[in-house]
Amino acid sequence: MRILGIDPGYATIGFGLVDAERGAFRLLQFGTITTPADEPFPKRLSIIYDDMNRLLDALAPDVLSVEELFFGHNVTTGIGVSHGRGVILLSAEQHALPIFEYTPMQVKLAVCGYGKATKRQVMDMTRRLLNMQEVAKPDDAADAIALALCHARSATSLLSRM
């Protein structure tokens, strides 16, 4: 199963493509979609949409694993991220991709076995699980890879078959 993990945003959107077969995981590709800060916000959403469509066509994933939003202190940023996330979900839906959403705690639990793991612990465990030489950069891409791994570990568990 080819799983595309997406860390949503509007300035930088991380992506990570992981192949999961019988409990073995292999990183196929990762990177980011970026939008210029000097562009009007609607134009940035259009860039995300176009780039997501190109990405989905090029990578041909079987499913999409995306982070559910968590609003912390900066609600204004959260609203912008939610707009970007909406465009990402629209693109996936138009490609008839099954969409799976995970909270940050679910990702931490699936990757590290501990729902309150630190970001650094998640990144290091992701690196170890995928036999990577170093942690993926930038952080948005590393988060997206962890989202793909989260779905890989959740979808292949025996509980998912019950």
Measured N-to-C along each axis, helices 119-129 and 139-155 cross at an angle, to the nearest 10 degrees, of 60
DSSP 129: H
pLDDT one-digit tens code per residue, 34-79: 999 999 999 999 999 999 999 999 999 999 999 997 656 556 677 8
CATH number (3.30.420.10, 3.60.20.10, 3.10.450.50, 3.30.230.10) of 2-161 reads 3.30.420.10
Residue of 7, 19, 62, 134 marked catalytic:
7
**Banded pLDDT at 120 (limits 50, 70, 90):** very high
Confidence band, pLDDT 50/70/90 cuts, at residue 155: confident
Q: Would you call 7 a catalytic residue per the annotation?
A: yes
Options 38, 39, 67, 101, the catalytic residue: 67
The pLDDT of residue 28 is above 70: yes
Q: Which range has the worst mean pLDDT, 107-116, 128-137, 150-159?
A: 150-159
Question: CA-to-CA distance for 108 and 114, rounded, in angstroms?
Answer: 6
Bigger pLDDT: 18 or 158? 18
Separation of first and last alpha carbons in the chain: 19
As a whole number of angstroms, the distance between CA 64 and CA 125 comes to 21
pLDDT at position 23 is 84
The model scores a pTM over 0.85: yes
